[in-house]
Every structure is written in C-alpha cells, then in structure tokens.
Homo-oligomer: A and B are copies of this chain.
C-alpha cells in the first residue's frame, strides 16, 4: 500500500483556504477571494475533521481523515488511507445512485481529504428522527440507494473481472472493517473495556447477553459472513447518522467503511437504526402516546424501506441484460424463467434474514457497546432511557437469533409494537 502519511498534516482554516485557492474549479465554485471565505470545523463524528467553506458564490464541504479515532483519542490510531476507500466508494455509488450521494469535487490522497458538495439545508436524519420529523421521500430514496448500489456492484450485474477488481481494491480497507468486526460482532457480548451501557439499570441485561450462548453463536456466525461473503460493495456504516436529508432530498454520506461484503449489512443498518429511533420515541414524548403518530410513521418506513428495496432489487435483476451469476441465456423457456424467478425470490428471502440479523446486531452494539446513538443518549433520565433500551434489546435479540421465524417485514413491525407495548 502507498505510504501517504509522509506529507500529511491536519489542516486548519488558513491552510485549507490556501489549498482550495489552488484548485481552479473549487475556487470558482466558492467565488470571490480566499480571504473572504468563511471556514467552520463542524465534525461531530468519530474519525474526521469536517469543514464547511463558504464563499460569495457557494459553499462546499471538506472532509479530512485524522490518523486516530477522534472519539477515543490518539491512543487508537487509524489509517488515513480510509479516505481513499471513501473516495472510491463515493465514485462507485455515484455511478449507480448519482442523485443520492454528495458530489465529489476534488480528492487529495496525500492529505486524505475529500472536497465535496455542501448539503444544505440537509440535516443528519438521526437528529430529525429525534425531533419527530417525517421525511416523505426517505424510504423510496434509501431503498433506491440500496437497490442500485448493491445490485450493480454484485455479480448479478457486470463482469466477474469487475467484481474481483472491487474486491481487490477494498480488501485493503482492513482497519475500518476491523472496527466493525470488533465493535459490532464481538465486544458487546463480552467484558470489553470500552463497552458502555445504562448502568445499573441494564447491568442484568448486559450480563444475560454475555451468557447467551445462542446469541453469541449467531453473532459470530454473522461475523464470519461479514468476513467472507463478498456479495457487493457495501457502504458499511449506513445508520441514520450517515444519511442527510430534507423533505425533498436524501443523501448518503461517510462511506469510509466501504468494502465488498454482505448486502444485508447495509439494509440491516438502515432498518436497525429506524427501530432504535422507534424505541427511543418513548423517551422523547412529553406525555404517553404523544408520539404515537410518529412511531407509526417510523414503522411504516421500516416496511417501506424493505418492501421498496425488495421490489427495486428484483426489478433490476429481472431487467438485467447480462450477469455472471444466473447467466441469462441459460433460462429461456417459460419453465426456466419461472425457476429463475423463484430463485431470485429465494435469494431475497435469504437477504431478508441477513438484514434482520445484521440489523439486530447493530441495535445491540449501540446499547451495550462503545458507540451509542443520540436517539437514546439524548434521553436524559437513565431509568426512562433504560426502558427504551431494554425493549430494543429484546427485539434485537429475536432478529438475530430467530430471523427465520419472521415471514415478512410486517411481522417485524408487529413484533416491535408488541415489545414497545410491554
């Protein structure tokens, strides 16, 4: 791998303006003179510097990787090279879902820095979910993103050679994958120094999960799948904090965890985080039932995301001209076509179970692991928060261990309602 660290340094506002001033397209986009540009560092994530730069003609965002995990500090180093993977993922996603990712204006591999579209007035979806805002385009947009990116970067579209090139490129994104391997699949189920949970309220729940053989086996089987199933280029961190939107527009950001992995990991991330938002509502409402309508909206989104994703993926597959897997010219008779379509439905059923399991695991790690979500963290009263979290944990466990028992996404939503009501 290229050593890109030699000339790297984190930028400050003045240094950043000097760099941007040297890029003619970017300079035109901002307009005016660099001295008049307004620069704000707004990174609230765990891993990067994020600047908003605004000039008289327009704004843009600059994301620069830091060589360590910001949340933990310099004791947890993290390769700058992840910026290269994010850039490549953005380019690939833009090929198939151009409307749904930020435009990239410039990439500097040495500085691990991406200059891209400033999304305004978009907000991080998670914050909207906490405030109880409905996004009418969200479900269809995210389903389109998922179907378009996952289908088109799989062996159901394109050539084996293209797939192997993707696998090769992203196989080097080792360290970011390792974060997921540890924090999602392993640490929540053992005593790990960085775990946190609402204590003492959930102490017994945490201990029960640590002793839950069936759950641990299921979690580790999914880890194995995450490590070996090279189905498609996945975003790798597609929670509601990686979605920025307005009522009219939806964008997926922060693809540095991208690699060729199991499709269900992305779909599950969306659905798992919607379910976390659902269970968190009880902690945010001013009076019991005050947010019932919004709760129902969230569950409608769970159904809509899966259903719309399923249908779009199926349509893409049925309409695909050529593919490496299920070579089209083998299936020409009516009987062939019907058998092939049954196989597609079987694949999507299997993907549904993957989705539930990965979704459940991502819910659990946000309650018992290192990195939590604002949906729940912002519930100030720990007893109240713990009630929400416990309900979420119980559904999540069922999704991980018993996904095969859900015959459709409507059953998942029904189970969520049941857990919320208890």
Contact = CB atoms under 8 A, between A and B. Distances in A.
A324 B223 CA distance: 8
Interface string A170-212: 0110100110010000100110000000000000000000010
Nearest to A232: B228
A324 to B, nearest CB: 6
A168 B213 CA distance: 34
A305 interface: no
Contacts of A171: 164-165, 167-168, 171
A230 B216 CA distance: 22
A364 to B, nearest CB: 14
A75 to B, nearest CB: 20
A315 to B, nearest CB: 19
A217 B327 CA distance: 10
A190 B329 CA distance: 8
Interface in A330-362: 330-331, 333, 335-336, 338-340, 342-343
A227 interface: yes
A168 to B, nearest CB: 4
A35 to B, nearest CB: 46
Nearest to A171: B168
Nearest to A168: B171
A343 B217 contact: yes
Nearest to A186: B327
Contact of A228 (B155, B177, B331): B155
Contact of A214 (B165, B325, B339): B339
A309 to B, nearest CB: 19
A415 B339 CA distance: 26
Copies of the protein in its oligomer: 2
B336 A213 contact: yes
Given A228-B155, A325-B220, A181 B160 contact: yes
A394 to B, nearest CB: 20
A285 interface: no
Contact of A324 (B172, B217, B227, B342): B227
Interface residues of A, number: 47
A330 B172 contact: no
A230 B231 CA distance: 10
Contact of A331 (B161, B216, B223): B216
A221 interface: yes
A224 interface: yes
Contacts of A339: 213-214, 216-217
Contacts of A177: 160, 164
**Which of A172, A178, A325 counts the most chain B CB atoms within 10 A?**
A325
A282 B161 CA distance: 42
A330 B160 contact: no
A213 B178 contact: no
**Which of A155, A172, A228, A230 counts the most chain B CB atoms within 10 A?**
A228
Contact of A227 (B163, B227, B330, B342): B163
A172 B160 CA distance: 11
A236 to B, nearest CB: 14
29 contacts: A155-B227, A155-B228, A160-B177, A160-B181, A160-B227, A161-B178, A164-B172, A164-B174, A167-B171, A167-B230, A186-B330, A189-B330, A213-B333, A213-B335, A213-B336, A216-B330, A217-B326, A217-B339, A220-B326, A221-B326, A221-B343, A223-B324, A223-B325, A223-B326, A227-B325, A228-B229, A228-B231, A229-B229, A230-B230
Interface of A: 154-155, 160-161, 163-165, 167-168, 171-172, 174, 177-178, 181, 186, 189-190, 211, 213-214, 216-217, 220-221, 223-224, 227-231, 324-327, 329-331, 333, 335-336, 338-340, 342-343
Given A213-B335, A224-B326, 14 more contacts: A155-B228, A160-B174, A164-B177, A181-B324, A213-B340, A217-B343, A220-B325, A223-B326, A227-B324, A227-B325, A228-B229, A228-B230, A229-B229, A229-B230
